[in-house]
Amino acid sequence: MKEDEDRVDEEAAEGEALSTREKIIRAALEVFADKGLHGATVVEIAKAAGITGGALYRYFDSKEEIFLAVVDAHTATMQALDLVRELMPELEPKTALKFIARGMFLFVYSDWDFIRMVIGESVKNPEAARPFLDKVLNPSRDFVRECMELWKEKGLLKEEVDPVLATSAFLGMMGYLLIEKDIFKYQDLEGAELTDLVDRYISMFLEGILT
């Protein structure tokens, strides 16, 4: 009986620790998004999380470690790419690119503070944003390139199409669509459904690269 009680107490303590750690990560995201890595302080992060600075140091040794934890917490979305990678040989190019494009927008819309944080650090301190590049952007780019190379091997792409350049063109096109629609809010895109825009952009893109 005593052993069972001890085990319950240990599990409760672990759950509380996890909850506090998650609170710190969520609070840090807001602080980093507003002030950047260098502008943020551990005291501000602790205050936003509702704990003391001393309590925060029980979970993280530095704000740099917290920053990495924030990035890690937002890379789970990329696991979906592994699932689709297995289906790639069976997917038509339009279906595959639709999935990739919608996944990109879902990732962005799911947490705008995270995107703000990454963009800010990329401009002010590119090295600090390196974990995001390594864990999110590079895997995404590699996945699209693998798709293009597979379609090239199957003879689906025009002979003159370079898979690497086609990858950059596709990702750049989707990125600029996001900027036009949701950052600059161009009037000619107002009211347009995102899924419809993505479908039309992909159709135009494929007309240029498919045989």
Domains of the chain by residue range: 2-67, 74-209
Any alpha helices (H) in 40-193, and if so which ranges? 42-49, 53-56, 63-73, 79-87, 93-110, 112-124, 130-132, 138-153, 163-178
The model's confidence at residue 184, banded by pLDDT at 50, 70 and 90, is confident
Smallest CA-to-CA distance from 171 within 190, 136, 145 is with: 145
Q: Which residue has the higher pLDDT, 33 or 89?
A: 33
What digits encode the pLDDT tens for the residues 150-183? 999 999 999 999 999 999 999 999 988 888 877 7
Between residues 112 and 144, which one has the greater pLDDT?
A: 144
pLDDT for the residue 181: 77
Region 73-101 average pLDDT: 75
Helix (H, G, I), strand (E, B) or coil at 155: coil
Residue 165 and residue 148 in contact, taking contact as beta carbons nearer than 8 Å: no
CATH class name, domain 74-209: mainly alpha
Residue type, 196: D
Q: What is the pLDDT of residues 49-84, one digit of tens each?
A: 999 999 999 999 999 999 989 888 877 656 656 666
User: Is residue 11 pLDDT above 50, yes or no?
Assistant: no
Q: Is 6's pLDDT higher than 50?
A: no
Burial of 135 (0-12, 13-18, 19+ CB in 10 A): middle
The CATH architecture assigned to 2-67 reads Orthogonal Bundle (1.10)
141 residue type, one letter: R
Q: How many other CB atoms are found less than 10 A from the CB of residue 67?
A: 25
Question: Quick one: tokens of 65?
Answer: 């470690």
How far are the Cα atoms of 101, 108, 124, 185, 194 from residue 180, in angstroms, in the given order? 15, 14, 23, 6, 12
pLDDT of residue 20: 92
The predicted model scores a pTM of: 0.73
